[in-house]
């Protein structure tokens, strides 16, 4: 059988319009060897949550799977459409929630399973991600060996430890999200699992993790409640990784970071 390499493009948390438009422009001339596009969308609608309009817009840009995190519930209308949003998943370890914690998607090189989970260190109280992930990995393995986890968490060690742990279960990639800060520690654990502690964010370049500097500064200096606004300077950053996986074995072969500044077109 011919060797099949499946190449995944994964965008860090898309923050507001700057992030959406930067991703739109990036995907408009993405390299032709990309087989599957994933993006974390928990901040895509004005920094908090995801409207149905923006869900449809991001689908049209060519995002095949949208992962999320703790902010996915911030726009209340999510509850009206998440059960029908085929491309969107939410973290698997909410004790009770609408939507799905994983999905199996078609690519030109066969199927891929994508799981979304929340970490627990320095985060609100969630169920352990361990058992739900183990259970889903065993289930999806009957359909595909290509398995990707978006692990949405604060603490580096928690993300890294779970990546090494899940390498034993044949997971192809564990990509960290949530901090919006890209780390330079991409690697492959045990010849199996591609990993980065945090892929970063896609959003305004002249910002504090996507949000307006003045509103962030006011909160940092006073520690009083502050209304965070999305920044809009006209330039944006794209933080992403590409991961190449052997579609037959599910083993990751390569992970590369993308960190570029762009000027936004309206």
User: Of 67-75, 110-118, 153-161, 229-237, which part binds Fe ion (CB under 5 A)?
Assistant: 67-75
Do the beta carbons of residue 25 and residue 264 sit within 8 Å? yes
Q: Choose, by CB under 5 A, the member of 12, 16, 69, 132 that binds Fe ion.
A: 69
Q: Choose, by CB under 5 A, the member of 22, 37, 41, 43 that binds Fe ion.
A: 43
Q: What number of chain residues touch Fe ion (CB under 5 A)?
A: 6
Q: Which CB atom, from 203 or from 250, has the smaller least distance to Fe ion?
A: 203
Q: Which CB atom, from 133 or from 247, has the smaller least distance to Fe ion?
A: 133
Q: At what angle do helices 130-140 and 156-167 cross, to 10 degrees?
A: 30
Residues ≥6 apart with Cβ < 8 Å to 233: 18, 204, 205, 206, 207
Residues 113 and 146: their CA atoms lie apart, in Å, by 6
Q: Which CB atom, from 72 or from 171, has the smaller least distance to Fe ion?
A: 72
Q: Choose, by CB under 5 A, the member of 13, 64, 186, 212 that binds Fe ion.
A: 13
Sign of CA pseudo-dihedral 216, 61, 105, 174: negative
Q: Choose, by CB under 5 A, the member of 178, 192, 196, 230 that binds Fe ion.
A: 178
- 179 forms part of the interface with Fe ion (CB under 5 A): no
User: Of 41-49, 102-110, 121-129, 230-238, which part binds Fe ion (CB under 5 A)?
Assistant: 41-49
- 75 forms part of the interface with Fe ion (CB under 5 A): no
Residues 118 and 222: their CA atoms lie apart, in Å, by 29
Catalytic residue annotation: 71
- 232 forms part of the interface with Fe ion (CB under 5 A): no
DSSP code, position 83 = G
Residues 179 and 155: their CA atoms lie apart, in Å, by 9
- 20 forms part of the interface with Fe ion (CB under 5 A): no
Residues 4 and 36: their CA atoms lie apart, in Å, by 14
User: Of 6-14, 83-91, 98-106, 162-170, which part binds Fe ion (CB under 5 A)?
Assistant: 6-14
Q: Which CB atom, from 11 or from 21, has the smaller least distance to Fe ion?
A: 11
- 70 forms part of the interface with Fe ion (CB under 5 A): yes
Do the beta carbons of residue 182 and residue 257 sit within 8 Å? yes
- 59 forms part of the interface with Fe ion (CB under 5 A): no
Residues 6 and 106: their CA atoms lie apart, in Å, by 11
Q: Where on the chain is the footprint of Fe ion (CB under 5 A)? A: 13, 42-43, 69-70, 178
């Amino acid at each position: 059988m011919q060797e099949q390499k499946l190449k995944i493009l994964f965008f860090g948390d898309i923050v507001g319009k700057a992030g959406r438009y930067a991703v739109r422009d990036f995907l408009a001339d993405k390299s032709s060897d990309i087989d599957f596009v994933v993006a974390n969308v928990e901040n895509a609608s004005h920094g908090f949550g995801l409207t149905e309009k923006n869900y449809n817009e991001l689908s049209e840009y060519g995002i095949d799977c949208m992962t999320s995190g703790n902010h996915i519930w911030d726009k209340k209308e999510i509850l009206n459409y998440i059960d029908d949003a085929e491309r969107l998943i939410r973290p698997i370890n909410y004790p009770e929630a609408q939507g799905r914690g994983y999905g199996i998607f078609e690519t030109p090189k066969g199927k891929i399973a994508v799981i979304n989970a929340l970490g627990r260190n320095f985060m609100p109280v969630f169920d352990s991600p361990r058992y739900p992930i183990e259970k889903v990995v065993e289930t999806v393995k009957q359909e595909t060996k290509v398995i990707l986890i978006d692990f949405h968490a604060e603490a580096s060690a928690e993300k890294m430890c779970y990546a090494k742990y899940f390498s034993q279960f044949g997971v192809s990639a564990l990509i960290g999200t949530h901090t919006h800060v890209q780390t330079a520690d991409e690697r492959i654990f045990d010849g199996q699992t591609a990993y980065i502690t945090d892929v970063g964010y896609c959003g305004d370049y002249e910002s504090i993790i996507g949000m307006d500097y003045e509103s962030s500064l006011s909160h940092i200096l006073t520690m009083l409640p502050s209304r965070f606004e999305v920044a809009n300077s006209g330039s944006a950053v794209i933080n992403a990784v590409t991961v190449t996986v052997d579609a037959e074995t599910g083993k990751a072969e390569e992970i590369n970071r993308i960190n570029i500044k762009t000027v936004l077109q309206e």
